A and B are shown apart, each in its own frame.
Chain A
Amino acid sequence: MNALAFAWRSLVRQPARAVLGVLGVAAVGALLLDMLLLSEGLVSSMRDLLDHSGFDLRITATDSRPGAGPRIEAAARAAAEIAALPSVRSAVALRFVDARVERADGTIIEAALQGVSEGPARPLTVLRGREIQQPGDVLVNETLARDAGLAPGSPLVLRAACTSDAEILPRITVTVSGTAEFPFETPGESIVAGSLGTLDEACGQSGAGEADLVLVASQGDAAAAAAAIQAARPDLHTVTNDELIGQFQASGFTYFRQIGAVLTTVTVTFALLLITVLLTVSVNQRLGQIAALRALGLSRRRVVSDVFFESVLIVGIGGALSLPLGILLARWLDGILKRMPGIPVDMHFFVFDPAALAMHALLLAVTALAAALYPMQLVARLPIVTTLRNEVVS
């Protein structure tokens, strides 16, 4: 009987404690997996969203967030100039303002109005109807279409709020050409997207021709495209998707990485301590047997490896169980965190990553070894004669 089979028999002999030990590791392992996923999940999800939009560079007037700093002037011309660069595939300018959509019954829906310049690609996906083709055409998201009872061809009355000054701009009526999905829309948000001209009209020509942001798709080399844009337009601020992710990692996402690291440490320590105690108590209850086996000629290595394999079995089986448990737990926790305001519908905090799974396995393996160290040492140093004598005396 090899050491693994022996360890299995030892565990099975005490089914209650073995099952509880395995379940405990499963619960802790699930939490560990989730914290590893959380560490990089948001970054990974953000990267996916940015890449999925089809644009890999963002240009603003300054290093402020789009909408928080000054706008790019003559944005359509700037976009065309950038699109003409050899390393750029396409460029589109966007401006964002708040708006109020009036329902047929006179009630108001707060919405976001965005103006998009013409170009071969836009940061949206048409779901129903058609693209914006003529002046006055707008696309709305499914939330607004549902709430306002809109369909392709419906008229839409809205009033924009374009500056910080107290002002009342006139209503404009536009036509819904279709519904679309916007990559960064948040749950419950209402979005209207039209041409830059439509937005200028809604804003009473205030800030006409300006944009908050120009999105750029490179020919494949974002860094080269960024350098070319910087050379052509040094007055503008260019950032690649990778650089943007880096900024988010340094600021907004840092909390989740930190809490992921803290909880990873806590769960590993927790599991380590408890498995060590489990094994140590188990070994202490069997000292007589172990001493007898040593007296019969079983080597020190053999009895030590028996203890090691017990740890491997508890952690291994518990670790395997922790995977489906961790996935379920991640879904629950993701659901909680996605209720944070401003989180896009398609962004997730927990994203499955093979690297996280590998790290999970590695940490559990190290935990199994480390937890077995003390009981292994107890067994290795067991004084045979004294133990046998104590067993008789007791």
Chain B
Amino acid sequence: MNGSPPRRAAAPWRPRQATARTAVVLAIAASASLGLVSGAQEPVLPEVLLSRQLAAAEGLQPGDVVQLAPDADGAGTRPFRVAGIYEPVPDPAQLGSLPRNVRLHLPDLLELTRRPGAPVGTEHVATINIAVRDPADAERVAEEINRRMPGVAARPAADATGSAATFRVLQRFHLAIALVTIVASTVFLLALTIMLVDERRETVGVLRLIGLPVRRILVQVSLEGLLIAGAGGLFGLGLAVMSEALINAYFQWRYDTALLFVRITPSVAATALVIAVPLGAAATVAASWALMRRNALRLARR
């Protein structure tokens, strides 16, 4: 893109690793035949793991030998043996792009990407991932590391900025869509309940004529509304669970990913029911309320 430089995220820019990733694309296709020849001699080569998507795209399997280079011009290539194929952790920020990744042992990567003449031990890594025994302790551990090692910046993974902010915005967007859907549903629900209540106007008129108080009838209507809304809510939940499976299956196939696109958690289900059931019951009562205010004789007359 022009006009504005790409903002660098908290993690420093890693040109050599990015280049290595790109160089794999150039090197692998040319090296398959070399790998087959080399395989006959079976030297002891350092091992790498390939992402499933890369292996499928290039037709590689465990045991094949590949050439990796840190630069696009192929200078400094070294042979590696494919030890296995792994499924990369799906990254929602990379949706749409196939993860063509290679995993090396860190010493091998540092060896591959070391600048000529640079002494061993002067390399640096961009990030160290730490798994703490108790995840709730992450913040305290980060503070401790920052205190003891001034040259590094440690933070809990949950505090990551950049793509997390993106998903917070998306969450708000989805919530906005949900609100509009609820409004539309409520309007239709009201229309339907008015029609259904209208069908019973004669019954309501007769009940009032024989002496039942309005409150009594409203209580009955409310209970019925709650029952119908509850049944409807549960049915809707069942429909949502089925849709969840379908949507996830489709998009996982479409993007060749293990990401979950829709997830109905107990909290989400509870929220949906808490909104839907009272709404349904309230719509029935609101529709009936208008009817109760009319003259009983007129209601009973066909």
Find the residue from A70, A186, A189 having the highest chain B CB count within 10 A: A70
**In the complex, what distance in Å separates the CA atom of A69 from the CA atom of B181?**
44
Is A333 a contact of B176 with CB atoms below 8 Å?
A: yes
**In the complex, what distance in Å separates the CA atom of A68 from the CA atom of B188?**
51
Q: Is B150 an interface residue (CB 8 A)?
A: no
**In the complex, what distance in Å separates the CA atom of A127 from the CA atom of B6?**
23
**In the complex, what distance in Å separates the CA atom of A341 from the CA atom of B169?**
9
- Chain B residues positioned under 8 Å from A112 (CB to CB): 4-5, 7
Residue interface bits B32-59, CB-to-A below 8 A is 1, else 0: 0000000000000000000000000000
- Chain B residues positioned under 8 Å from A387 (CB to CB): none
Is B166 a contact of A341 with CB atoms below 8 Å?
A: yes
**Which of the candidate stretches B10-18, B138-146, B217-225, B226-234 sits at the interface with the other chain?**
B10-18
Residue interface bits A157-193, CB-to-B below 8 A is 1, else 0: 0000000100000000000000000111110010100
Is A97 a contact of B169 with CB atoms below 8 Å?
A: no
**In the complex, what distance in Å separates the CA atom of A182 from the CA atom of B170?**
26
Closest chain A CB from B109 CB (angstroms): 15
Residue interface bits B185-206, CB-to-A below 8 A is 1, else 0: 1011011101110110000000
Closest chain B CB from A42 CB (angstroms): 13
Residue interface bits B223-258, CB-to-A below 8 A is 1, else 0: 000000000000000000000000100010011000
Given known contacts A255-B96, A340-B169, A68 and B180 CB-to-CB distance under 8 angstroms: no
SS of B interface (majority): helix
A334, closest chain B residue (CB): B173
Residue interface bits B133-175, CB-to-A below 8 A is 1, else 0: 0000000000000000000000000000110011001101100
SS of A interface (majority): mixed
**In the complex, what distance in Å separates the CA atom of A381 from the CA atom of B176?**
43
Given known contacts A28-B184, A281-B195, A341 and B165 CB-to-CB distance under 8 angstroms: yes
- Chain B residues positioned under 8 Å from A213 (CB to CB): 2
- Chain B residues positioned under 8 Å from A360 (CB to CB): none
- Chain A residues positioned under 8 Å from B130 (CB to CB): none
**In the complex, what distance in Å separates the CA atom of A339 from the CA atom of B1?**
19
**In the complex, what distance in Å separates the CA atom of A66 from the CA atom of B196?**
62
Q: Is A348 an interface residue (CB 8 A)?
A: no
Residue interface bits A22-36, CB-to-B below 8 A is 1, else 0: 011001101100000
B161, closest chain A residue (CB): A341
**In the complex, what distance in Å separates the CA atom of A189 from the CA atom of B7?**
9
Closest chain B CB from A229 CB (angstroms): 16
A253, closest chain B residue (CB): B96
Q: Can you add 5 more A-B contacts, CB < 8 Å, to A182-B4, A339-B172?
A: A24-B184, A70-B19, A254-B96, A270-B184, A342-B7
Residues of A at under 8 Å CB distance from B? Answer: 16-17, 20-21, 23-24, 27-28, 30-31, 53, 55, 58, 61-70, 94, 96-98, 112-114, 123-124, 164, 182-186, 189, 191, 212-213, 215, 250-252, 254-255, 258, 262-263, 267, 270, 274, 277-278, 281-282, 285, 329, 332-333, 336-337, 339-342, 344
Query: Can you list 17 A-B contacts (CB < 8 A)?
Result: A28-B184, A31-B181, A68-B13, A96-B5, A112-B7, A183-B4, A184-B4, A185-B3, A185-B4, A191-B4, A251-B96, A255-B96, A333-B173, A336-B169, A336-B176, A340-B166, A341-B166
